[in-house]
Amino acid sequence: MIREETIIKGKLRNANEIEVFGYIEGEINAKKLIIRPGGKVFGTISVEQAEILGTFQGDATIKNLIAIKASGTVNGNVRYGKLAMEDGANLSADVRNIPPDIAGDLDITVGRGRTARVTTMDLTAIDPDDSSDELTYTVSKNVHGSIVLSSAPNKPVTTFKQADIEAGMVMFLHDGAPGSTASFDVVVTDSKGANSGPAQTVKVNVRN
């Protein structure tokens, strides 16, 4: 079972049944694949049976039945033995640009008046279409601090890349104000202009 907060990039092979509530990007080989509502799979799958209530895009070989439920969306090259679709389900040969998603716990801790590194556990962008240097964050609504890069630790920035987070360069600089919390909002945009939707808030816990 791939839970909601779980992100896997790679290969899952020789499984009996895989149930996806989270995000998988890569290759799946199993007897049965179930993609639950909100679950997303991008890549190549080879299974005996598939039930799609979430999102799949890529190349799929289903030996027996693929059942696409009303909440399910399937895009790409799909070969199957049998097909069942509910009203409202979507099956298309078109491979579409996938907007990026924001993941991570969106929660960091900083000392008052100090800096704290933003890690991939705190904030990360996932997008099967784009590399980390093609995913750009826009920062807004800074409260009691700002985002800086380690290469210029006193110069606030309003944009940075996913690659900057992965390189350990993104920092939150607290302004020294009283109080136990700070925050900033982010939206991430891919190389084709698609974005992650409404801004999400990263909470910053301030300690003395």
Would you state the structure tokens that stand for residue 9, as one six-digit string? 């990039």
d(CA 122, CA 166) in angstroms, rounded, equals: 11
Query: What's the total number of domains in the chain?
Result: 2
Strand partners, 33: 18, 50
* 86 and 121 assigned to the same domain: no
pTM for this predicted structure = 0.86
Query: Does residue 109 fall inside a structural domain?
Result: yes
Beta-sheet strands, E only, within 21-135: 23-35, 40-52, 55-68, 73-85, 90-92, 101-103, 107-111, 115-117, 124-126
**CATH number, domain containing residue 141:** 2.60.40.10
Query: Does residue 57 fall inside a structural domain?
Result: yes
**pLDDT one-digit tens code per residue, 117-168:** 999 999 999 999 999 999 999 999 999 999 999 999 999 999 999 999 999 9
Residue 128: helix, strand or coil by DSSP?
coil
Question: Which residues of the chain fall short of a pLDDT of 70?
Answer: none
Query: Does residue 1 fall inside a structural domain?
Result: no
Query: Does residue 152 fall inside a structural domain?
Result: yes
Query: Does residue 116 fall inside a structural domain?
Result: yes
d(CA 145, CA 173) in angstroms, rounded, equals: 5
Range of the domain at 163: 101-207
Q: Is 35 in contact with 60 (CB distance < 8 Å)?
A: no
